Amino acid sequence: MRNFISTFILLFALTAQAQEKTTFQTAGPWKPVTDIRSDLVMVYGANDSRRMTFRERVDSWRKHGYTTHFMTGIAWGEYQDYFTGKWDGKWHLDEGQKTSRGDTIWHGRLIPYIVPTKNYLSYFKERHIKPVIDAGIDAIFLEEPEFWARAGYSEAFKREWQEYYGFSWRPQHESAENTYLSNKLKYHLYYRALDEAFTYAKLYGQEKGMNIRCYVPTHSLLNYSQWQIVSPEASLASLESCDGYIAQVWTGTSREPNYFNGKAKERVFETAFLEYGCMESMTRPTGRKMFFLTDPIEDRAKDWEDYKRNYQATFTAQLLYPQIADYEVMPWPDRIYEGLYKVSADSDEKAHIPRFYSTQMQVMINTLNSMALSENRVSGSQGISVLMANSLMFQRSPRPVEGYDDPQLSNFYGEALPLLKRGVPVSITHLENVGYADTWKGLRILLMSYSNMKPLSPEAHTHLAEWVRKGGIIVYSGRDDDPYQSVLEWWNQNGMNYKAPSQHLFSLMGIPEKAEEGEYKYGKGKVYVLRHDPKEYVLSEGGDKQFVEVVTKAYGKLEMKNSFYLERGPYTLAAVLDEDVVSNQPLVLKGDYIDLFSPELTYHSELSILPGTQAFLYDLRKIDKKRPQVIAAASRQYDEKATEDGYSFTCKSPLYTTNIICLYLPKTITSAGIQCTDAVGNPVNHRLRTSEAPANTLAGRLFWLSFENSPEGVKVSIEN
């Protein structure tokens, strides 16, 4: 009997986990104004407050039907009881991350960014992991394991240096090697921190008969490298105690300027596309779970139009990866729904979220509850990938060291943007994953450089060489003369005497170690060597000409265009690129579409998508025309029932927002045939709009219904 019960509990838990598709994070309790109706909620922070305990916050969400998970920061948080000595009687402010000037890097009052010492980890497990599991939570998200590149001068860090390297600490600003070693240690410390915290959580959970799952919400490796932050990133994908990630990509990360064609500017869609690609590729070979995040606003104070424009760009970018279908639909709904932001860029007036924007946003996030995986791929020449490695972060410093400079991470963007801006959907390959067979699936050309990163093991080169031998193509760009080529690493130790890591790779393929620019064969594959650092392709106008020509030759024929297009189930996604690299013409789509970026859910038989903009559409030609259905809504629908006599469902969404529902009904109705009632049966004022198209057409069967939302539910009943 006990075995039967255990099996039943396990099956129940697995079924519940299968429904864990959409989530959001909040430090607050349930409120009617933030009840966004995702599958899950990540309750932030384990501390009790004067008004409410952690368990009471958790219970407030559970009472309204949410599965509750837990999130907190691993590198910062409300951990004052540790730093002020309340936990063990000793002050620990010396464990904050410090700059060369001795200044602590703060995240808030008495909240330093942390050097994760073993003592801190003991505190963290006792005070912030154990009580969460005791509260019945079986999924833990430890976010943003961040060590600043400009840090590395605290006494705690010096002690960790001595223990890790076996020799005394060295100031990182004094040499490239010191910078590299310092950042490599920062990477190790948070890898260790997460492994210890997650391993403890899983073991403690097992003692209580629970299957604890552990995730890392983290910025992309691309963003951390650009922002000069060190984090474990791709290495965690192989960590036994790590079950997956949240890809923290949003306007704030994606609007970071980059160089292309000699100009530094914000390229939000392009950067977001690469960031999501960077995150997707981390887990693709390992099968770990990945949630994609977008944010309708951002940390920096901007205006509502700015937020809306860039939200559409990042939202489109995430959906262009149809092999990912789990989402954090927003962080911090309290600040989104209750915060005050500028009404326009040239005004000081502030206001709550406009009704049209909250309606549009809720339409968008509710599509994610049913967004399915797809075998389709975004339009364009497939199979070209940029190689990345965690060591991208190791060469980052607040000031150039020994003359090395990589403005705005141009040695990465120099390989990616020349192709992306020509409509080629370049992917990302992580050097840490080359040992997995799935890493190479569909890959034809690998773009790589050691100008901004270095391989952490010789085994990676064995896999690269074997892939080329079987027919792969590498386009290698690099002068191999930066000061990081000679840091203390495996290629110049223990009997190896290579001046640069590329020389080891070339030697495995029978290529001259100091290969000149040209084309080389190895087995069935080829290596093209370009003796330019990739940043040279983007820091000057027209600097990418030779690079694009070589990639085109290696590929055979590249499809060059100014747009990306994807069909994903009933959804159509499109993005048109600006800067007139290939064309400045709009993308014209013809069909039967509902515009999901429109707060009115406008119908179109033809759309013209302009350069620099995106589209998110519902393709009505893919619906089942025999049954009534909700095409899109600024609410989540429950208890849907369709009979010969009618159609009904219940809508739930936050208070003080306006619902818009686009309905397809096979039979014509009138306003008298529709009723809207609240949770206790009282009539709800509503507006019904019908299509002007002929009733015998697809568009003629569309109806639009609007009313004020309620988290308690509005029941819609339609009589045939």
**Pairing verdict, β 326-331 and 289-293:** parallel
**Pairing verdict, β 603-609 and 587-595:** antiparallel
Q: Among all chains, which residue has been given the structure tokens 């203390």? A: 488
pLDDT at 18 (0 to 100): 53
Q: What is the CA radius of gyration of the chain?
A: 27
Domains and CATH numbers, the chain: 384-555 (3.40.50.880), 563-621 (no CATH), 629-719 (no CATH)
Which amino acid type is present at position 649?
A: F
Whether pLDDT at 370 is above 70: yes
pLDDT at 11 (0 to 100): 39
What CA–CA distance (Å, rounded) separates 641 from 708? Answer: 22
Whether pLDDT at 3 is above 60: no
pLDDT at 17 (0 to 100): 53
**pLDDT tens for each residue of 484-514:** 999 999 999 999 999 999 999 999 999 999 9
Q: Residue 326 forms beta bridges with which residues?
A: 291
Whether pLDDT at 4 is above 90: no
**pLDDT tens for each residue of 42-94:** 999 999 998 999 999 999 999 999 999 999 999 999 999 999 999 999 999 99
Q: What confidence category does residue 110 fall into, taking pLDDT thresholds of 50, 70 and 90? A: confident
- 3 phi and psi angles, rounded to 5 deg: -65, -40
Cβ partners under 8 Å of residue 59, min gap 6: none
CB burial readout 614-649, b (16+ within 10 A) else e = bbbbbbbeebeeeebbbbbbbbbbeeeeeeeebbbb
Q: What confidence category does residue 10 fall into, taking pLDDT thresholds of 50, 70 and 90? A: very low
Question: % helix / strand / coil in the chain, to the nearest 5?
Answer: 35, 25, 40
Single pTM value for the model: 0.96
Helices (H) then strands (E): counts for the chain: 17, 35
Q: Average pLDDT for residues 370-375, to the nearest whole number? A: 96
Which amino acid type is present at position 76?
A: W
pLDDT at 6 (0 to 100): 38
394 or 692, greater pLDDT: 394
Q: What confidence category does residue 14 fall into, taking pLDDT thresholds of 50, 70 and 90? A: very low
Q: What confidence category does residue 234 fall into, taking pLDDT thresholds of 50, 70 and 90? A: confident
DSSP 392: G
Whether pLDDT at 481 is above 80: yes
Whether pLDDT at 8 is above 50: no
CA dihedral over 266, 268, 273, 275, signed as positive or negative:
positive
Whether pLDDT at 219 is above 60: yes
Going by C-alpha positions, the residue among 310, 351, 409, 167 that lies closest to residue 612 is 310
Q: What confidence category does residue 582 fall into, taking pLDDT thresholds of 50, 70 and 90? A: very high
DSSP 524: T
What CA–CA distance (Å, rounded) separates 54 from 68? Answer: 12
**pLDDT tens for each residue of 140-177:** 999 999 999 999 999 999 999 999 999 999 999 999 99
What CA–CA distance (Å, rounded) separates 355 from 297? Answer: 15
pLDDT at 340 (0 to 100): 97
Share of the chain above pLDDT 70, in %: 98
- Which long-range CB contacts under 8 A does 235-240 form with residues at least 24 apart? 235/187, 235/191, 235/390, 235/432, 236/191, 236/194, 237/282, 237/283, 237/285, 237/286, 237/288, 237/430, 237/432, 237/433, 238/286, 238/432, 239/191, 239/194, 239/195, 239/198
Helices (H), 561-639: none
Angle at 249 between CA 248 and CA 254, to 5 degrees: 145
Q: What confidence category does residue 342 fall into, taking pLDDT thresholds of 50, 70 and 90? A: very high
pLDDT at 693 (0 to 100): 85
Beta carbons within 10 angstroms of residue 364's beta carbon: 22
pLDDT at 699 (0 to 100): 87
Beta carbons within 10 angstroms of residue 403's beta carbon: 8
Please give the mean pLDDT across all residues of the chain.
95
The 3-state secondary structure of 566-580 reads EEECCEEEEEECCCC
449: left (phi over 0), alpha (psi -120 to 50) or beta: beta
Q: How far is CA 467 from CA 352, 431, 447, in A?
A: 54, 13, 13
Q: What is the widest separation between alpha-carbon atoms in the chain? A: 86
Q: What confidence category does residue 672 fall into, taking pLDDT thresholds of 50, 70 and 90? A: confident
* DSSP H or E run through 11: helix 2-18
Q: Average pLDDT for residues 417-423, to the nearest whole number? A: 98
**pLDDT tens for each residue of 294-303:** 999 999 999 9
CA dihedral over 437, 438, 439, 442, signed as positive or negative:
positive
What CA–CA distance (Å, rounded) separates 335 from 317? Answer: 24
Share of the chain above pLDDT 90, in %: 92
Whether pLDDT at 285 is above 80: yes
